[in-house]
Amino acid sequence: MPAGRNFLWMGAVVIIAASFLATNFVLNWWAGSPASKSRLDQNPAVSAIDYSRTIDVSPLFEEPVGWSAGYALATGHGPGAVVGPGSENPNVFAQTISVKGGEQLLVIARASSIDKPTALAMIQVNWLTAEGQFISVFQKSFEVTPDEKTVRQSVAVPPDAAIGSVYVVPGGTDDVVRYTEMRVIRP
């Protein structure tokens, strides 16, 4: 091969190698950058959820087991459970779980609005003593749209609590919400 072709050949190899290295650099940088990961993946506490530690029964509403009577009125209208309008509607339902005072729980709610562009959904847990005496309530409202939204909320159990009542309830008086998950996890 003449010297000129050798030089061109070597130049092509250098360009290909440089392109490969640059591509690898960019891909590795992108894979490790915050833009390539969701906010949940960046939070080790959330990305390491052990779903086998779920403490409520039928968190995806596949069976009535564990849920109160409103479950029968809230299901059968497509996936999940539809509750509302309002928190006093007979289709609102709950499930009691055993808890230990002072522990942290993770509640995962997946919800969407039904008949409006936006609605309020709510995570609600009523805390009771072992004798059934009311202690306090935890509530966190969040806005939903027709596109399903998942909210993960850490909840501290009050020191004297032995029972938690987890409610499937809309967050506003005129809101109708579809829930496809209400899960409580002991991390």
- Residue given tokens 């479950």 in the structure block: 71
Give dist(CA 134, CA 96) in Å, integer: 13
- Best CA proximity match to 83, nearest among 173, 169, 165: 169
Q: State the pLDDT at residue 30.
A: 33
Residues 6+ apart with CB under 8 A from 80: 60, 61, 110, 178, 179, 180, 181
Please report, in tens digits, the pLDDT of each residue of the chain (187 residues total). Answer: 555 554 444 443 334 333 433 333 333 333 333 332 223 333 444 457 888 999 999 999 999 999 999 999 999 888 999 999 989 999 999 999 999 999 999 999 999 999 899 999 999 999 999 999 999 999 999 999 999 999 999 999 999 999 999 999 999 999 999 999 999 999 8
Residues 6+ apart with CB under 8 A from 115: 176
Give dist(CA 8, CA 83) in Å, integer: 72
Give dist(CA 167, CA 84) in Å, integer: 12
CB-CB neighbours of 167 under 10 Å:
21
Residue 102 burial by CB count (10 A; 0-12/13-18/19+): exposed, middle or buried? exposed
